[in-house]
Amino acid sequence: MKKIGIINYHYSNHNYGAVLQAAALHYYVNNELGYKSEHINFMPKGVKAQWHTKLKSHIKAALMELGLKEKKITHNSFVNPEIFQDFRNKWLPTSAKTFHTFDELSEADLNYSHVIVGSDQVWRPSYSGNSSLVYFLAFLNVGVKKISYAASFGNDFWELNKEDTVKIAAEIKSFGAISVREKSAVDICRNTFGVNAEHVLDPTLLVGRDFFDGIIGDKSESAAADVVYYKLDIDSDFEEFIHTAATTLKFTEKNIYYSSKGRSHYYRPVDSWLQNIKDSKLVITDSFHCVCFALLFEVPFVYYPNDNRGLTRLESLLSLLDLTHHIYRGDVDPVELTQELMRIDYALVNKKLARLRGSSAKFLADALA
C-alpha cells in the first residue's frame, strides 16, 4: 500500500482551523481514498514540545493569578495550549520522528510514495518564514510525487522578491499535481511561477459534516449561546458590532475562542469549539475556517474582515457559493445586515458544495493514483 506524507501547520497550539483541516485531510486520504497517511511531524524551531508547553502553562496560570503577568490577551496569554496536542493525539497520526529544520528533513529516510503539502497558508512566506522551502517540498528525493492540496498564498499577490521567486519556481515546477484554495492563487501560480493549478475546496469542506459530528460525539455544551464569535484581536468596533447584533436579534452572545477565570484565559477544547458553532444561531468571525464550519453546520454567519488575515481567501470561497454579501465591509447598517443574513438557503448552498466537493475529490484521487 502507498504511504502518503502530509505537511502543513498541524503543530499549531492556538489555531483551531489548522488542526481541524489537518485532521480532515488525513481522514479523507485514509478513509475515503483508502491509503495510509501520516503528517510529517515538522515543527519549526521555536515550537515547544508537549511537556514543555504543559509545564509553561502551569507556571503561567500561577503568575497570572498573582497578577504578575500582563493583562493584554495574546497567544502567549493562554494557559492551556496542550488542548491542541490532546486533539492531535486522538485524531492526527504523525511520523515517529520530529523534525525541526530543512536539513533534518533532507537527511531523513522518508519512506513516502507521495507527499501532500496543504491546506492552509503554507505558501505564505510571512507565515512560514525560514521554512518556506520546506512547504514547497524541496527536501524530498527524486521519485517522490509532490502534490499540493488547497495550498494558500494568503494574499492575492506573491510576497517574495525576484531572487527568492526563482528558487521557489524551480521547486514548484517539480510538482506532479498542484491545487490551491483561492482563485487568486491560480493566477499567482500561472503568472508568477508558470505552472497550472486547480482551484479546490479546503479539506474541512471536502470531508464534509459527518467527520466533525464524529469529533463532537454526544457532547453537549452546557452554556450554549445564540450568537457566537471567534476573533483574537477584539477591538471596540468589533465589540459594538457583536452587541448590536445580539441586542437586535434578542440573542445571547458568547466568545468561543476562550473562557476566563480570574486573570487566566483558557482555550476551549477543540470538540467544544465545534459544538458551540453547531449549536449557535449566528456566527461572527474573522476566521476562514470558522466560516467553513458555519457552512457545514448550516448556521448563518457574518465574516468580519481582519486586514492581517487577508480577505482574498474568503472572497474566493464565498463567491463560489454566492455568499459574498456575508462579508461585513462597514458600509451597511449592522442591524439591517444581521437581520438579512439570518436567511440562508442552505439547500442551495449544499448543492453548490456537493458539486465543488466532487471536482476537489477527483483532483486528489487522480493526484494519488
Shared domain for 340 and 360, answered yes or no, is no
**pLDDT score at 261:** 83
Q: What is the pLDDT of residue 282?
A: 93
Domain region containing 51: 3-208+355-368
What pLDDT sits at residue 215?
97
pLDDT score, position 223 = 74
Same-domain pairing of 67 and 134? yes
pLDDT for residue 72: 55
The CATH number of the domain holding residue 192 is 3.40.50
User: Does residue 297 sit in the same domain as residue 361?
Assistant: no
Q: What pLDDT score was predicted for residue 218? A: 84
Give the chain's domain count.
2
Q: How confident is the model at residue 76 (pLDDT cuts 50, 70, 90)?
A: low
DSSP secondary structure of 139-186:
TSPTTSEEEEEEE--SSSS--S-HHHHHHHHHHHTT-SEEEESSHHHH
Per-residue pLDDT at 301 exceeds 90: yes
Write the pLDDT tens digit of every residue in 204-221: 999 999 999 999 998 766
- Same domain? For 71 and 200 the reply is yes
In tens, the pLDDT along 59-73 reads: 444 444 444 444 556
Which SS3 state, helix, strand or coil, does residue 314 take? helix
pLDDT at position 343: 83
Q: What's the pLDDT at 79?
A: 84
Same domain, 364 and 338: no
| Phi and psi angles of residue 65, each rounded to the nearest 5 degrees, phi first | -65, -30
79 and 97 in a single domain? The answer is yes
Residues 10 and 119 in one domain: yes
- Contact call for residues 79 and 56 (beta carbons, < 8 A): no
Domain match, 185 and 313 both: no
Query: pTM for the complete prediction?
Result: 0.90
Q: What is the pLDDT of residue 273?
A: 96
- Assign 196 a pLDDT band (cuts: 50, 70, 90): very high
Q: Which of 41-55, 128-142, 235-249 has the highest mean pLDDT?
A: 128-142
Q: Which residues, 6+ apart, have CB-to-CB distance to 217 below 8 Å?
A: 271
With beta carbons less than 8 A apart as the criterion, state whether 326 and 288 touch: no
- Per-residue pLDDT, averaged over 120-133, amounts to 93
Mean pLDDT across the stretch 329-352?
Answer: 80
Q: What is the mean pLDDT of residues 128-152?
A: 96
Q: Cβ–Cβ contacts within 10 Å for residue 273, how many?
A: 25
Both 188 and 39 in one domain: the answer is yes
Rounded Cα gap, residues 18 and 20, in angstroms = 6
Asked if 68 and 174 sit in the same domain, the reply is: yes
- pLDDT of 332: 65
| Least-confidence region, from 59-68, 177-186, 235-244, 275-284 | 59-68
pLDDT at 132: 94
**Position 340: which residue type?**
E
**Spatial distance between the Cα atoms of 26 and 37, rounded to a whole number of angstroms:** 6
Residue 134 cell numbers, joined: 520546506
For 260, the enclosing helix (H) or strand (E) is strand 258-261
Query: What pLDDT does 15 receive?
Result: 94
Under 8 Å CB-to-CB from 295, ≥6 apart: which residues?
Answer: 205, 301, 321, 349, 353
Q: Answer yes or no: do 19 and 90 share one domain.
A: yes
- The pLDDT score that the predictor gives to residue 59 is 45
Are 181 and 230 members of one domain?
A: no
Q: Quick one: pLDDT at residue 61?
A: 45
Adjacency order of strands within the sheet including 3-7: 94-99, 36-42, 3-7, 114-117, 145-151, 177-180, 198-199
Q: What is the pLDDT of residue 311?
A: 79
Q: How many CB atoms lie within 10 A of CB 12?
A: 18
| pLDDT, tens only, 236-271 | 888 888 988 898 889 999 999 998 887 788 999 999
